[in-house]
Homo-oligomer: A and B are copies of this chain.
Amino acid sequence: MRGAVIYAPGDVRVEERENPTILAPTDAIIRLSATCVCGSDLWAWRGADATTEPTPMGHEYVGVVTEIGVDVKNIQVGDFVIGSFFASDNTCEICQAGYQSRCTHVEFVGAGGAQAEYLRVPLADGTLVATPGMPDEDLIPSLLAASDVLGTGWYGAVAAEAGPGKTVAVVGDGAVGLLAVLAAKQLGAERIIVFSRHADRQKLAREFGATDIIEERGDAGVAKIKALTGGYGPHSVIEAVGTEQSMAQARRSVRAGGHVGFVGMQHGVEINGEELFFESIHLHGGPAPVRRFLPELIQLIWDRKINPGKVFDLTLPLDQAAEGYRAMDERRAIKTLLAP
């Protein structure tokens, strides 16, 4: 099969790879209908994450099951399925509490490289969720979004306790930030403020439910959001970037006693305990337990109540994966869908 492999920063090649096979009786193999490039893939593309050997890339996937292990019960060959980037048994106490990304048997599905034609998914019964039937073609981008960016933005909004009567802010206007806006809106937030400097992203943010845009950052951004919220700051802030600056923006914006949900993959962030102590905020986040939300998100998409697939503003054949990375890195695209 064809699959994307990173060799070095800026060097992603689509090459011939071994087809995946069933390794454990709980595995499934799927033929991908669509895959995509994640903001977190750019850390390796930019060299912020080291690439020490050629590494298969991609961890977002939707597709049709072609083979299952003998112990797989809930998923059938022929099912159209979506799963998270983390495989989970969905039965341990941690999974049952909704933290499938920390399942006691967790495995990174992306280890197999989802930017490819086929993918092995471990713990298929606990990881994959089948759609009610074969989806219409136009639903596939939205279902693909549920595999990570929608689930991650949704988790950010849940972790920040977005809900009715709340003012919610979003730091980051990438796909996750934009879908956190959509999530906050669905969860009933009264007002949604987005930090963004890009006209195209601001437009999509407003379409997803943003009520206010702040172009300022740092001190000026904090001053602006305090002014917009009676001096208090928003009740909830979703951090969807993962840098020192974005975490500071989130923590300094939120009101005392408020909630920061942080879902941006952290790079180089240090939090001073004494500062955090006197902020009196709630801090919760991490890799999203996407599996917790999949049944609900799939239904919302199936019923055409949400259209998260709009974050894909560039579609390329899988063979042009490198251009998909480049376009996102240069901010020419919000998110690239790759068609195997």
Binding site for B on A (CB under 8 A): 93-94, 97-99, 101-102, 104, 230-232, 242, 244, 247, 255-257, 262, 265-274, 276-287, 289
Contact = CB atoms under 8 A, between A and B. Distances in A.
A272 B269 contact: yes
Contacts of A231: 104
B280 A101 contact: yes
A274 B267 contact: yes
Given A266-B273, A273-B266, A276-B266, A284 B283 contact: yes
Given A280-B287, A283-B284, A273 B273 contact: no
A234 to B, nearest CB: 12
A279 B286 contact: yes
A277 B262 contact: yes
Nearest to A244: B273
Contact of A270 (B98, B271, B279): B271
Contacts of A242: 273, 277
B94 A257 contact: yes
A290 to B, nearest CB: 13
B277 A286 contact: yes
A231 B274 CA distance: 31
A12 B311 CA distance: 64
20 contacts: A94-B232, A94-B255, A94-B256, A99-B257, A104-B231, A242-B277, A244-B273, A247-B273, A266-B274, A267-B273, A268-B273, A271-B272, A271-B273, A276-B283, A276-B286, A277-B286, A280-B285, A280-B289, A281-B286, A283-B284
Given A99-B256, A271-B271, A274-B266, A282 B282 contact: yes
B102 A256 contact: yes
Contacts of A230: 93
A10 B274 CA distance: 24
A164 to B, nearest CB: 15
Contacts of A272: 269-271
A249 B273 CA distance: 14
Contacts of A257: 94, 97-99, 102, 289
Given A99-B256, A279-B286, 15 more contacts: A99-B257, A101-B280, A262-B277, A266-B276, A269-B272, A269-B273, A269-B274, A271-B276, A277-B286, A277-B287, A280-B287, A280-B289, A282-B282, A282-B283, A282-B284
